[in-house]
Structure 1
Amino acid sequence: MNRQQTYKLFFSVAGLLMIASCSRPITKTLFLQSGRPHIYLPTNKEEKSGGILSERVSYETKIDTIRPAHKPALDDEDMKSVTLETFTVVADRPKLKISTVRNGKINLTFLMTVPKAFMDNRWQIVLTPHLINGDQTSALPPVVLKGSQFKKVQDEEFAKFAKFEKDIIDPSDYDKKFFDQKKHSLFTKNLQHKYLDHYTAEYKRLQDYQAWKHIAEVRIMNANARREGRYYQRLNDKAIEMLGSAYNDNLYGLDSSKVHRGFSGRYNEEHRKNYLDKKLSTLTVDKVPKNYRKYFEKNFTLDSLKNKSLTEKDSANIAKHTYFFKDIAQNESKIKNKDTHRRHLVRFPEVENPALSDSIRTGKDFVYLYSQDIDVTEDLQRKLSVIVETRVTAMDQSSWHQGGVDTLNFIVSGMNDLVDKTLISRLDEADQAIYQQGLDRLAVRDYRGALNIINQYPDYNSAVCLAALGYNDQAIMLLDRITATGKADYLRAIVYARMKKLEEAKESLFSAARKESTLAFKVEIEPEFAVLLETYPELQEQLENIGDGLDEM
C-alpha cells in the first residue's frame, strides 16, 4: 500500500468516526428535560371518570373510592415536594388508600400521568405497574402509547415478518414444493433405458445363441444321419450276402439256419447300439462357445428371457432421494430459528396483553385512570404497594428508562377486619385449640374453611363468615340471637346495606357508633355503604358527631 492510499484510508476512517460521533439517539431530549411520568391516587371525581380523563366522556362508579369528608392538614409524610431544575412540583395527594375485598378480589385504581414533553411520534412509551406484595413483585398489564412514525416502522417490520412466515413451507407440502420432479424423471428414465439396454443385449445374445445352436444342431443331425445311413447300408449289404448264402444252402439241400443264426448273433441290437453310440455325435457343453454356455446349461430360449421393470416401491424409494434438500434445509432452518428471525426482522415487538394501547398525541399531557382487579389469595399481604416502570423506545432503538419514582400503598380491607378474637376466651382449653384454627383460616380470608370450624360455637365470628360468604339472611338470623355489640351492629348494617334495606342499615350504624365510637369513622371506607352515604348525605357527619361525642365523655 503506497502513501497516497494510506492517507485515503485514514481520512475515510476518520470521516466515519466523525459521523458516528455526531450521531445522537432520538431519546436524547428525555435525558435533558425535567418532566417525569408519575402515578397518583385519584380524587373522587377522577375515579368516577373512566379511561383517559382528558379524552373520554363515559363514566363508571368505583364504590371503594375514599370519600374526602374531612381534609386534614398534610404532614411531612403526606406532602411530596420534588425540585426539578428551575421549578418545584408539589403533590398534595395522599399515597395511601384502603382497598376492600369484594367477591374474592381487590381493586387497584390510580392515575398515570405522562407530561407532554414525552409525547413524540418517533417512539413508544410503555408504563408497567409492578405490584409489591411482601417480598414478591409481579408486573401488572402495561399501558402502551405509540407514536405514529414509530407505529409505521413497527407495522413495516411486522409486514416483513409476515412475509417471512408466509414463505415458510409446511412440511406436509414438501412433496408439492420441494420434490425434484425433473431429477426423479431423469433418474427413472435413465434406469428404464438401462433395463431396456440390458434386455436388448440379452435378447440379441440369446438370438445369436439360438441361431448358432440351430446351425450346430442341424450339422450334427445331418452328420448323424449320414453315419446311420452308412451303417444301415453296410448292415443291409451284409444281410443280402447272408441271404444269398442261405438261399444257396437251401438250394443244395443244406441247413440255412446256421447262416441266419450267425448273422443275427453278430449284427444284433447291441452291436447296432454300440456302433452308433460311438459314431453318432451329440451337442455337449464342451462344444458350445464359452459366451453361450450359460444359455446352453440352463436350456434358455427366448421365452426364458426376463426383463427388469420399475415398481411403485422402486419409484417411492427413488423419490426419497430426489428433493431439493438445500431448500428443505433452508426451510427447516427458518422453522427452527423462527424466533431468531423474528428478533432480526422485528426490532419492536408488540407488548403483550396491555391494559391500554393508544396513540401518542403530541402537545398534550397524558392522564389515564388505571384500574386492575387482583385475586385475593392466602399469601396476599395486608399492605400492598404499586410502582410504575417507564420505558421509552425510539425508532433508532435508543431508549430511556425510569424505575418507580412514586410508590402508592394500598391497605387490604376485608370482612376479617371485623373479627373479634376475644371470643375465644369464653371457651375451655380444648375448644380454644379448635377455635383458634378457625381464627387462623379467617386471617387468610378462608371464610368457608373458618365457618366449618367456628360454626361449632355459633357466635359473632360465625356471622362474619356467613356475611363474607354472602349468606345474608343467615347472618341476620344469627346476629339476632347474639349479644348486640358495636361490631355486631356494624356487621348488621353491612348486611342490611347489601340487602338494600337502607333505613335498617342506617339505624344499625347509629347503634354501632354509640357503642364503639371508632366505628363511626370506618363507614366511609366500606364499599357496601357507598349507596347509603349517597342516599343520606348527612349520615357521615351525624355518625362522626356521635363518635366525637363519645370520645369527649
Structure 2
Amino acid sequence: MKRIFLLLFAACWLMTLLFGGCAVTSKLERHQYTSVVAHTPRQMRERMKEQEREQDTTIYEMRGDSGSLFVANRRSMVIEDDGEAVALLRSREVSVIAKTRMLAERDGKIQIDFLITMPKELQGNVQSFVITPIMHRKEQNIELEPLQVRGGLFSKLQERNYWRYSKYQRRLVHRRKGNLSAADTLKLKEAFHRFVQFPYLDRSRFDSILDGKEKITYFYTQDVKVEEDDKRLYISLNGKVNALDGSSYDVPPNDTLQFNISSMLTFVLPITRYMTRIVEKFAVVNDRNYLTFKVNNAKIMDSLGNNAQNLAQIRELMHTLLYQHEFYVDSIVLTAASSPEGGFARNNRLARERAYALSTYLRQEFDFPELDTLLTVRWEGENWTDFKREVVRDDQIEHRDEILSLVKQIEDPDEREAAIRKEFGKDYRYIRDVIYPRLRVVDFKYNLRRVGMIKDTIHTTVVDTVYQRAVELLRKRHYEEASMLLMPYRDQNTAVALLSRGFNGAAREILFELPSSAQVEYLRAIVCSRLGEWKLGEQCFKKACELDDLLEYRANLDPEMSPYLHKQEKE
C-alpha cells in the first residue's frame, strides 16, 4: 500500500509541475491558516511550575473548556542541558487571556513563557511545519529555538536523502583513502544540495513526527538576560510549511505578545550625598554568610543547603577586595559562630573546627600568597550576642523580657539555655526553629587602607561622586559594580543592589539596621520571603501596606509576595 501511495503521490507531483495548481500548500494559501501565540494563563502557569518541581511529572494534557490539567507519564519529558523542563500540552481549546504580561526581573534576568498552538490544518503526512518564536527588543529581532512537526512520509524522505548522501560520502572517502582535497570538499557540498532537498534543522527545541492530526499546544519558556534600558519586549511567530511537491507556505503572523519588565529599581532612592565628612584612611567591609554543616561535622560541602551559592558569594567578594586598586587589604578576620542548643564545649569545638575548615578551603581556592598572613581565624562557641538582638526584634516571642533577663542573670551558657527551655517551652520551640538558624553564621571583616593617602583623615565638602556613580550603575542594572561601591554606605540603595544580586543574607542585615519606612518594610518582607522567614515577612508586609497602601498593588509584581497575598485572599 505504501508503494502504491508513493506512486500516486509522485503522479500528483508530476501533474503539479506540468499544469500548476493543486499544490499541497494551495489550500493553506486559500484559507490563510495561521498559528497562535498566547500568554500562559496565570493558574496554568503556577500549576505547571509546581508540577515541574516534582520528579515524576512531564506531560500535561488539557481537556474540555475548563482547561483542567492532569499528569501523564515521565518518559516524554524533555530536559534541556540547562536543566529546564519543557512540557508538551495537547489541547482542544486554548484561550488567550491577555496580550500583555508583567515579568519580575531578578539578578538581571527574566523568565518569559507563552503557549504556541500549532493547528492541525498546518500539519500533514507529506509536509513539514516549522514555527520559530521571534523576540523583539529595541532594534533587535532574535530567533529563539524553533518547533517542528514533520509528516511521516516527509520524515522518511529526509532519512532516505541523508542515507543517499552518506553513501556517496563514504564512497568518495574510500576512493581517496581518507585524504580529501579542497575539490573533494566542494563536491561533497554540491552533492549534499543535490541529494538533500529538505535538510534537518540545526537546532530545534521540539521535533515531532506526526502521529495523528490534532492541534498541539506547546508551553515555551526561556530565560532572558535583561539589558540596561529594557522596559518591555515582544514575542511573535514566524512559520513555514514545506511540502514534498516543492510547494511552500509562509504562515502569516498572528498575535504579538508584550512583556513588561518590573524590577526592584523602583525602590532606588534619588539621593545626592555630600562628603561633608571626614574621609578616613581606613575602612572596614563586613560580610555575613550562612553555611550548612552536617551534625557534629566541620566538613565544607557545597551540596548542602545553599552552600554552593554562599561559597560563591564569599569567593566573589574576597576576590574583588583582594584585587581592587582603591584600597589595600590590611587584614581579614573570619569568625564562625554556632547556635546555643547542645553543650557549650561541643559547640565551641565545632565553631573552631568549622572556622579553620573554611579558612583552609579559601586558601586552596585563591592563588594569593599573602592570604596566609592576612587571614585570621576566630570563633564564637555560642552566638548569644545575635541571640539577644534577634529576640528583641521578634514580636512573636511572648516572654521576650523574661528570656532576656534570664540571659543576663545566668552566666553558664548550658544552664542558661536549659532554663529558657524549661520555663518558656512554647517560646523556646519557636526560638529553636526560627531564631537559632540565624545564629549559625560566618562573618568576614575586611580591614582596608586607602591607597595613596598619608594622613589618617581628610576634611572635605564635595558631592560624593562615588555614590552618584554607584546609583547610576544600579539604575543601569550593573548590579555587581554598584553593590561593591555601595557597601560602605549600608543604606536602602545598597540593600536594593544586594537583593538584585541575590545576596539575601547581607541585604537582610542592612535592612534591619535602617529606620522603618514603607519601602524598607516592603524590602524586609521580600528578603524574609527569600530566606523562608514567613511570619516575620508577613509582619513587615502588613506594616508596609499600613504606611503606604499602594504597596499592596505593587506586591502583584513581585513573586516573593505571592504567599502573603494568597493568605490575605483566604482571610
Q: Please give the TM-score of this superposition, normalised by the length of structure 1.
A: 0.56
Q: Distance in 2 between matches of 1:540 and 1:447?
A: 34
After TM superposition, list the pairs within 5 Å mapping 1:460-499 onto structure 2. 460-499=492-531
Q: Any conservation in 2 of the 1:386–1:407 contact (CA below 8 Å)?
A: yes
For the residue of structure 2 that corresponds to 1:160, the secondary structure is helix
Q: Distance in 2 between matches of 1:113 and 1:97?
A: 18
What is aligned with 2:134?
130
Q: Any conservation in 1 of the 2:33–2:251 contact (CA below 8 Å)?
A: no
Larger Rg: 1
Q: Distance in 1 between matches of 2:544 and 2:102?
A: 21
After TM superposition, list the pairs within 5 Å mapping 1:490-529 onto structure 2. 490-529=522-561
Q: Does 1:363 align with 2:378?
A: no
Q: Distance in 1 between matches of 2:247 and 2:533?
A: 60
What is aligned with 1:444?
476
After TM superposition, list the pairs within 5 Å mapping 1:292-371 onto structure 2. 333-371=183-221
What is aligned with 2:272?
424
Q: Any conservation in 2 of the 1:52–1:366 contact (CA below 8 Å)?
A: no
Q: Relative to 1, partners in 2 of residues 1:90 and 1:120: Cα closer, same or farther, differing over 3 Å?
A: closer
Stretches of structure 1 lacking an aligned partner (at least 5 in a row) = 1-15, 61-88, 176-327, 543-553
Q: Distance in 1 between matches of 2:463 and 2:273?
A: 10
Instruction: Report deviation, 1:489.
Output: 1.0
Instruction: Report deviation, 1:26.
Output: 0.9
What is aligned with 2:101?
97
Corresponding letter in the other structure for 2:267: L
Q: Any conservation in 2 of the 1:40–1:408 contact (CA below 8 Å)?
A: yes
What is aligned with 1:409?
258
After TM superposition, list the pairs within 5 Å mapping 1:155-194 onto structure 2. 155-169=159-173, 173=177
1:254-294 CA distance string (max 9 Å, x none): xxxxxxxxxxxxxxxxxxxxxxxxxxxxxxxxxxxxxxxxx
Q: Distance in 2 between matches of 1:20 and 1:109?
A: 46
For the residue of structure 1 that corresponds to 2:173, the secondary structure is coil
For the residue of structure 1 that corresponds to 2:249, the secondary structure is strand
Q: Does 1:538 align with 2:567?
A: yes
Q: Distance in 1 between matches of 2:130 and 2:16?
A: 33
Q: Which has the higher helix share?
A: 1
Q: Relative to 1, partners in 2 of residues 1:499 and 1:94: Cα closer, same or farther, differing over 3 Å?
A: same
What is aligned with 2:72?
57
1:100-155 CA distance string (max 9 Å, x none): 22444321100001222222111111110111110111100111111111111111
Q: Relative to 1, partners in 2 of residues 1:26 and 1:503: Cα closer, same or farther, differing over 3 Å?
A: same
Q: Relative to 1, partners in 2 of residues 1:343 and 1:46: Cα closer, same or farther, differing over 3 Å?
A: farther
For the residue of structure 2 that corresponds to 1:94, the secondary structure is coil
What is aligned with 1:381?
230
Q: Any conservation in 2 of the 1:435–1:453 contact (CA below 8 Å)?
A: yes
After TM superposition, list the pairs within 5 Å mapping 1:10-159 onto structure 2. 20-47=18-45, 48-49=47-48, 53-54=61-62, 57=72, 93-159=97-163
What is aligned with 2:419?
none
For the residue of structure 2 that corresponds to 1:400, the secondary structure is strand
For the residue of structure 2 that corresponds to 1:132, the secondary structure is strand
Identity of matched residues, %: 22
Q: Relative to 1, partners in 2 of residues 1:171 and 1:419: Cα closer, same or farther, differing over 3 Å?
A: farther
What is aligned with 1:322?
none
1:215-244 CA distance string (max 9 Å, x none): xxxxxxxxxxxxxxxxxxxxxxxxxxxxxx
Q: Any conservation in 1 of the 2:134–2:142 contact (CA below 8 Å)?
A: yes
Corresponding letter in the other structure for 1:527: P
What is aligned with 1:85?
none
Q: Distance in 1 between matches of 2:31 and 2:193?
A: 32
1:420-470 CA distance string (max 9 Å, x none): 22x336777843543221122112221121112223432100111122222
Instruction: Report deviation, 1:356.
Output: 1.0
Corresponding letter in the other structure for 1:123: Q
Q: Please give the TM-score of this superposition, normalised by the length of structure 2.
A: 0.54
Q: Distance in 2 between matches of 1:497 and 1:360?
A: 45
Q: Distance in 2 between matches of 1:57 and 1:414?
A: 36
Corresponding letter in the other structure for 1:489: E
Q: Any conservation in 1 of the 2:129–2:240 contact (CA below 8 Å)?
A: yes
Instruction: Report deviation, 1:24.
Output: 2.7
Q: Distance in 2 between matches of 1:521 and 1:165?
A: 65
Q: Distance in 1 between matches of 2:16 and 2:100?
A: 52
Q: Any conservation in 1 of the 2:127–2:151 contact (CA below 8 Å)?
A: yes
Q: Any conservation in 2 of the 1:493–1:506 contact (CA below 8 Å)?
A: yes
Q: Any conservation in 1 of the 2:518–2:548 contact (CA below 8 Å)?
A: yes
Instruction: Report deviation, 1:343.
Output: 1.7
Q: Any conservation in 2 of the 1:142–1:354 contact (CA below 8 Å)?
A: yes
Q: Relative to 1, partners in 2 of residues 1:18 and 1:163: Cα closer, same or farther, differing over 3 Å?
A: closer
Q: Relative to 1, partners in 2 of residues 1:154 and 1:516: Cα closer, same or farther, differing over 3 Å?
A: same
For the residue of structure 2 that corresponds to 1:150, the secondary structure is helix
Please provide the CA RMSD for this pair.
3.1
Q: Distance in 1 between matches of 2:211 and 2:502?
A: 46
Q: Distance in 2 between matches of 1:134 and 1:369?
A: 25
What is aligned with 1:260?
none
Identify which range, 116-125 or 96-105, moves more after superposition: 96-105
Larger relative contact order, structure 1 or 2 (CA cutoff 8 Å, min sep 6): 1
Q: Which has the higher strand share?
A: 2
After TM superposition, list the pairs within 5 Å mapping 1:387-402 onto structure 2. 387-402=236-251
1:9-36 CA distance string (max 9 Å, x none): xxxxxxx999722553211111122542
Q: Distance in 2 between matches of 1:529 and 1:389?
A: 36
Q: Any conservation in 2 of the 1:38–1:113 contact (CA below 8 Å)?
A: yes
Q: Distance in 1 between matches of 2:475 and 2:170?
A: 56
Q: Distance in 1 between matches of 2:60 and 2:187?
A: 40
What is aligned with 1:74?
none
Q: Relative to 1, partners in 2 of residues 1:20 and 1:446: Cα closer, same or farther, differing over 3 Å?
A: same
Q: Relative to 1, partners in 2 of residues 1:431 and 1:453: Cα closer, same or farther, differing over 3 Å?
A: farther
Aligned length: 340
For the residue of structure 1 that corresponds to 2:23, the secondary structure is coil
Q: Relative to 1, partners in 2 of residues 1:408 and 1:172: Cα closer, same or farther, differing over 3 Å?
A: same
